[in-house]
Structure 1
Amino acid sequence: MNSEYKADFGKFKLTAGKFYGDPVRDKGPDICGSETKKVHVILNYKNKPHPIKKPIRCKVDGYTHLYTLIIRPDQTYEVKIDNEMVESGNLEDDLDFLPPRKINDPTVRKPTDWDDRIQIDDPNDIKPEDWDEPEYIMDTSAEKPEDWDDAVNGEWHYPMGEWKPRQIDNPNYRGVWPHPQIDNPNYSPDFSIYSYENISVIGLDIWQVRAGTIFDNFLITDDEVYAEDFGDETWGETKGPEKEMNIKQTEEEQERERLTEEKYFEQRFKKKLERKKESGKDRAVRNTIKKEEF
């Protein structure tokens, strides 16, 4: 797949025949601005979509890239970009197909004397009763922002706040209370999560602000080695020439821009010269008229 724009969303769906409301598998990059550059992997289980919980970053450089999703009978998966593994794991662990194996024991509560405060007020830091001070004091721990402009924002002053005792480490801190776990009675393993029958249709789901996203060379197979070889024989053979072509096109575009700029200034110079000539003729005519009148 190739996309060079800042707001594109492209997925391909593998289904048994219906494009909408029944996607079996969704996979593809989602690009929006500088923040969103992720690969979606969404599997359907019992008529509900389940996205992968791990973040997978897609490549955004204007070149074509090869995306591969592998699902194995041992309930594991692998995501590859350009025939290199970028993420892998267990389907049950990384997608919420099933209820969790363990849950918090509902019969157990955190002890009332369990102290999980990391820091506490210093009991020895007490404001004197006769201390004469305004309601608010300067927060000397604050720092002047790096982008503060005195000429625009005025002179920077420490923010004012109420007096508070300093903080110290809590000597009674016991850490986060570990809630005891029990087996989830609603959990039941399913060893057929990986299996999808009758994959017969490929659908494209694309949202983009400008044309330019390209899909090509789809392959559905149960042979991982063949899939990798197929990628090397297709994308692998064209990635080099594609970059060379891009460099050549960039150089040609730069040359066109240079020639256009030269032509622009050349035309401006010619017009300026023509104006000077016309101005010279006008002066000559005026001088001739003055002489005749004289």
Structure 2
Amino acid sequence: MRSTVAIALLVLLGVHLSNATSYFTEEFSDAGWEGRWVLSKAKGAEQGAWKWTAGKFFNDEEVQKGIQTAQDARFYGISAKLDTPASNAEKPVIIQFQVKHEQKIDCGGGYVKVFGSDLSQTEMVGDTPYHIMFGPDICGSSTKRVHVIFNYKGVNHLIKKTIPCKDDELSHVYTLVLNPDQTYEVLIDLEKVESGSLEADWDMVPPKTILDPEAKKPSDWDDRRKIDDETDSKPADWDKPEFIPDADARKPEDWDDEVDGEWEPAQIPNPQYKGEWKARQIDNPKYKGEWEHPKIDNPAYSKDESLGVYTDLGAVGFDLWQVKAGSIFDNVYVGDSLAEAKAFAEKTWKVNKDGELKAKEAIEKKEREEREAAEAKRKAEEAAADEEEDDDEKDEL
């Protein structure tokens, strides 16, 4: 029997979800997705094709179908209009989607863009203005991060924090929460990985405070924690050469000084060498700590109540460049309830993730066994060929 507390929680959750607004959801669960999404034609022959598939490994093939980038070294552009334009002026906006880099991605985007409702879908390109860009970007070993970019007064601003992204071949869920109070959260696989304020974590407006340009560190400020002990002195026998002649070395009998030059024994490390002498360190009695540059109010700062507020989030799209194709995008959600977004991800992603992993491991095991069998066959054939060659040589004898 459920406890009273558990029942109360379920009731509260039900009420919360019933009050939630979902502006857009897409599971790509039926062939009708092609009627809901519009392909960009802006790049012509360089525009990559999309494939409707669950990929090479999955838990439930029909449930886990998404749209996959299908051609290497191509631009990808596809978008869909929201059922109702979203706004975070009074309620949060949650942007969530799932991506699986099945191709062991080496360089390519995996993010979603959110546009205004006036988006010209067939003309969508990288330079098309957008409100929000969110999701993973991978290129080599140096770039493996989650982009969170907001457009403010016509300029795109990247988050100052570094948020590592997932770079394996499994499906992962990325969630962005944008609140009316100019705060945000980023979740990966339903776990919060970053949060804060737009004012602090983006350079969209001047900072509240700046370093006082008139302040200078006092000339007598001593910030050395340790100093040399003046009573310490170098021992008389300290200085020894780092290398010495090898006492066991002998001049070769065939050494000719006129031809080979004057012979000298090889140098070997000196076991008595002690390195550079340094005085013993002691606490500095004059240490004042690290000097902190005082700050003052920034005269250029003024709070902008419109920062990060979007009243016309009308379309979502994947606008990407991929060197190596194979990323599968799925389960897109735009709404005003984090609880509903999590429930959507629980239903579409979490229930399948363990089975997906097992399917991947099964494929890898089969491929490994096939490689081992092929290698064993190759070695057996080589051994048989060697044996036949030996037999031929014996016959000739």
TM-score class, shorter-chain normalisation, is: 0.7 to 0.9
Q: Secondary structure at the match of 2:331?
A: coil
Corresponding residue number in structure 2 for 1:175: 289
**Matched residues in 2 for 1:270 and 1:112: separation?**
84
User: What are structure 2's unaligned runs of at least 5 residues?
Assistant: 1-98, 243-266
Identity %: 42
Q: Secondary structure at the match of 2:200?
A: helix
Change in CA separation of 1:232 and 1:164 when aligned onto 2, cut-off 3 Å: closer
**Matched residues in 2 for 1:225 and 1:67: separation?**
14
Contact (CA 8 Å) 1:40, 1:51: kept in 2 or not?
yes
Letter in 1 for 2:224: R
Q: Determine which structure has the larger strand proportion and give its number.
A: 2
Larger RCO (CA under 8 A, 6+ residues apart): 2
Residue 65 of structure 1 and its aligned partner are, at CA, apart by 0.6
Corresponding residue number in structure 2 for 1:212: 326
Please, what TM-score do these two structures have when normalized by structure 1?
0.73
Corresponding residue number in structure 2 for 1:14: 114
- Find the partner of 2:160 among 53, 61, 82: 53
Change in CA separation of 1:104 and 1:258 when aligned onto 2, cut-off 3 Å: closer
Letter in 1 for 2:306: S
Residue 12 of structure 1 and its aligned partner are, at CA, apart by 2.5
Q: Secondary structure at the match of 2:304?
A: coil
Where do residues 93-132 of structure 1 align in structure 2 (5 Å cutoff)? 93-125=200-232
Corresponding residue number in structure 2 for 1:146: none
Change in CA separation of 1:113 and 1:225 when aligned onto 2, cut-off 3 Å: same
Residue 189 of structure 1 and its aligned partner are, at CA, apart by 0.8
Larger radius of gyration: 1
Contact (CA 8 Å) 2:229, 2:282: kept in 1 or not?
yes
What is the aligned length?
A: 264
Corresponding residue number in structure 1 for 2:134: 27
Letter in 2 for 1:206: W
Contact (CA 8 Å) 1:66, 1:235: kept in 2 or not?
yes
Contact (CA 8 Å) 1:13, 1:205: kept in 2 or not?
no
CA RMSD for the aligned pairs? 3.6
**Matched residues in 2 for 1:244 and 1:176: separation?**
54
Please, what TM-score do these two structures have when normalized by structure 2?
0.56
Q: 1:76 aligned to 2:183?
A: yes
Change in CA separation of 1:235 and 1:154 when aligned onto 2, cut-off 3 Å: farther
Q: Residues 132-167 of structure 1, C-alpha deviation per residue, up to 9 Å, x if partnerless?
A: 998x987xxxxxxxxxxxxxx964886865x66544
Corresponding residue number in structure 2 for 1:228: 342
Letter in 2 for 1:243: L
Where do residues 233-244 of structure 1 align in structure 2 (5 Å cutoff)? 233-244=347-358
Q: 1:195 aligned to 2:309?
A: yes
